[in-house]
Every structure is written in structure tokens, then in C-alpha cells.
Amino acid sequence: MKIIMLGAPGAGKGTQAKRIAAKYGIPHISTGDILRANVKGDTELGKKAKTFMDQGLLVPDELVIDMLMDRIGQDDCKNGYVLDGFPRTIPQAESLDAALAKAGEKMDMAIDVDVPDENIITRMGGRRACVNCGATYHVVFNPTKTEGICDACGEKLILRDDDKPETVQKRLNVYHEQTQPLIAYYSKAGILKSVDGTMEMDRVFDAIVRIIGE
């Protein structure tokens, strides 16, 4: 099963994608996580990507597309995957479709996690991330057992640089301009599903399971 998560930054794509991955036994592929790992490791890709990410802008398509194609070509992707944060532009979606079509495959569904901009701002301010294992928390909605420490691996949590309020507003603008058109793109392709992302996390996941099937 091949699933795409759509939605604004902070809508809960990552939170839900991790749960989907665990329930259905497919890898969770987050282009944001892969890029942050490259920035942390100071790779060539990381150096190029960092300036864009810090400004709340998208990393250029050609860099991200190659990186994603590499990842979905790996062995653990044979039975499908859940994509979180890709595609984010129409050219990325077209490249993905073209690559899959070549292999006689296609995406099964694109799930849009719908959350209005007002809710996003509060969510991002409270988001805490573990750069070591990729876990995500929220100071109010999903707190850790010990403040500032990852429940999963014990590392210190960070407030992402791009989660500061000024940058969040910019990322929302980028989302509306470049990423939101994908909703129409997948609707036209007949694979769009929508869930109300303002509900609490467990309810959002229930709605997603009803869409995918038990």
C-alpha cells in the first residue's frame, strides 16, 4: 500500500504517518527527517538544503526528488510506504507518478489532514522534536514523561529553528502557494481522501483507519 500524507506544516502528518506505518507494517518516509539528518551530518545535500529550510522555503525540486526516488527504491519499500512531506509541489507529484508508472505501479491514496491556519500556529509553538530518533511531541497535546527528554530514546528535545512564529507564517504561505494545489491534483486522479485534523490525535487516526481499512 502506497499512501501520501497531505496537509499544512503542523497539521499532524508526521504524527499520523508514524501510526499508519506501525499498524500496517510499512516504512514511514519523511523528507523533512531525511533532510534534517543530512543537515546534521553536514553532507553536500545538507549544506545545500539548510539555507532554504532555515528560511521556511522549500528545498529545490531536483534535490528532493532524487533523494526520495533513492529512498523508495530500497528493499523495505517493496510492499509500500507512507510518504510524509512529499510531494510538496506539482512537479514533485508528476515525477513520482512518472517513476511509479515506469515500474507499472501507482499511489493508492492521498490523505489530506485538514487543519485551519489558526490552529497551526499554536501547534507549532508547542512542538518539540527529537533529532536523534525522529519522535515528535507537544508540550500540551502530547507531553513527554520528563520535560524536554525524549520518551523513546532519552535524548534532549529541541524546538526546531523553523518552528519559530515568524518562520511558521512564512511556511504557511509557501504551503498555500505551492503545496495546496496538490489537493486538486489528487482529487482529479481520484485518490484523494480527507480527514478533519482538528480532532484529537486518536480520533484523527480512527478516521484514517476507517479510510484505509482494518
Q: Least separation, in Å, of the C-beta of 53 and ligand ADP?
A: 4
User: How many whole angstroms separate alpha carbon 67 and alpha carbon 39?
Assistant: 14
Rule CB under 5 A: which residues touch Zn ion?
Answer: 130, 132-133, 135, 150, 152-153, 155
Among positions 17-36, residues that touch ligand ADP (CB under 6 A) are 31-32, 35
Query: Is 160 one of the catalytic residues?
Result: yes
Q: Least separation, in Å, of the C-beta of 107 and ligand ADP?
A: 15
Query: Is 127 one of the catalytic residues?
Result: yes
Site string for ligand ADP, 40-79 (x = CB under 6 A): ------------xx--xxxx----x---------------
Find the part of the chain contacting ligand ADP (CB under 6 A) among 19-27, 40-48, 101-109, 135-143.
Answer: 135-143
User: How many whole angstroms separate alpha carbon 5 and alpha carbon 12?
Assistant: 9
**Interstrand relation of 81-84 and 28-30 (parallel, antiparallel or unpaired):** parallel
Q: Least separation, in Å, of the C-beta of 113 and ligand ADP?
A: 7
Q: What are phi and psi of 135, to 5 degrees?
A: -70, 150
Q: Where are the alpha helices (DSSP H) in 83-180?
A: 90-102, 117-126, 165-174
- From residue 17, alpha-carbon distances to 63, 89, 102, 115, 175 in Å are 23, 19, 26, 16, 19
Select from 127, 150, 185, 208 the one that contacts ligand ADP (CB under 6 A). 127
Instruction: Give which of 24, 26, 9 is closest to 83, Cα–Cα.
Output: 26
Are 126 and 140 a contacting pair, CB within 8 Å?
A: yes
**Interstrand relation of 127-129 and 136-138 (parallel, antiparallel or unpaired):** antiparallel
Q: Least separation, in Å, of the C-beta of 75 and Zn ion?
A: 25
- In a 13 Å sphere around the CA of 106, the CA atoms on its Cβ side amount to 7
Among positions 154-213, residues that touch ligand ADP (CB under 6 A) are 162, 171, 200-201, 204
- Selection from Zn ion, ligand ADP, none that 53 binds (CB < 5 to 8 A by kind) is ligand ADP
User: How many whole angstroms separate alpha carbon 66 and alpha carbon 5?
Assistant: 19
Residues constituting the chain: 214
* Total residues at interface with ligand ADP (CB under 6 A): 35
Is 134 an interacting residue with respect to ligand ADP (CB under 6 A)? no
Is 95 an interacting residue with respect to ligand ADP (CB under 6 A)? no
User: Which residue out of 2, 19, 50, 88 is catalytically annotated?
Assistant: 88
Query: Is 88 one of the catalytic residues?
Result: yes
User: Which residue out of 18, 160, 164, 193 is catalytically annotated?
Assistant: 160
